[in-house]
Amino acid sequence: MTRYLTAALYKFVELPDFASLQSPLLDLCQQHQVKGTLLLAPEGINGTIAGSVEGVQAVLGWLRSDPRLSDLEHKQAWASEPPFHRMKVRLKAEIVTMHVEGVNPSRMAGRYVKAQDWNALIADPEVVVVDARNDYEVAIGSFRGAIDPKTRSFSELPAWLQAQAQDGRALAAKDGRKPRVAMFCTGGIRCEKSTAYLRMQGYEEVYHLQGGILKYLETVEPHNSLWQGECFVFDERVSVGYGLKPGPLELCRSCRRPLGDAERSSPQYEAGIACPHCFGSKTAEQKRGFAERQRQVAIARGRSQLHVGATMPARNGAGKGPG
């Protein structure tokens, strides 16, 4: 059986010549039949690739041959089906969008806290614990006692953090001293940027979970855990639990929200077309398009083929990228 190696990676590092890396990187990936998406920006690199062991290692080796990326880390997993259909190397203003000038995670990120040390930190009543993810991610799982900013996108987080710094709110200074803050996200990338932002705002004691929730669920035993629920992931597993085992949720193909039994049993749910979260928000033309896509997916599955417009479920822990 063919197995595909998936490598999720990111690194905040100053890459003023990022645009010049696009063409040779894309050529190398195509040469080795590696597929996925990589983002290049002045602040670094982010993305996920998949292919043969030799192909993925060739790409990682090429990236690490650049002294600026020599310590590039990646999370790897295996899939029995190809997780991606094409290779894209995109140029971006940011590898994770915040829309705030001057944030430099490569120089200003908060202190890393290893998974095995995380419980002691967030159990301290003097530490404000903030979930840096979006509302639909928090809805299916989070750390006990963490604050949910209820953001719809990462770019909304700075405004929420500013609001929380006002008198009487979670991040307000007391007796002239700003509180200690611990932040976490799926894989670590959003936390590096959000803790850098807090340090710009004068918060000195800022921490983030190294490797994100995924590393915590991989490392910490359930009986010692302060995590509750599932962790949303941006691939066909939809969610994972302890040991990074895929969870029971599925994805709405219309709005990309995670769906449990309650949503799937709703009269507003129609597989591949709509769910209670997006019912009524799509035009008739959009629904016809979703219905046709779902029909083509069903035909392809009936023939044991991979439909080009639908990603097959990732197995054995294949992921889309660290969040």
Catalytic residues: 185
Please, are residues 43 and 106 in contact by the beta-carbon 8 Å criterion?
Answer: yes
Give me the half-sphere count of Cα atoms (radius 13 Å) on the Cβ side of residue 203. 29
* Phi and psi torsions of 121, nearest 5°: -65, -50
Using DSSP, state whether 129 is helix, strand or coil. strand
Evaluate whether 94 touches 41 at the Cβ level (below 8 Å): yes
How far is residue 33's CA from residue 317's CA, in Å, rounded to a whole number?
21
Q: Which residues of 137-160 are buried (b: 16+ CB within 10 A; e: fewer)?
A: bbbbbbbeebbebebeebebbbee
CA distance 272 to 167: 46
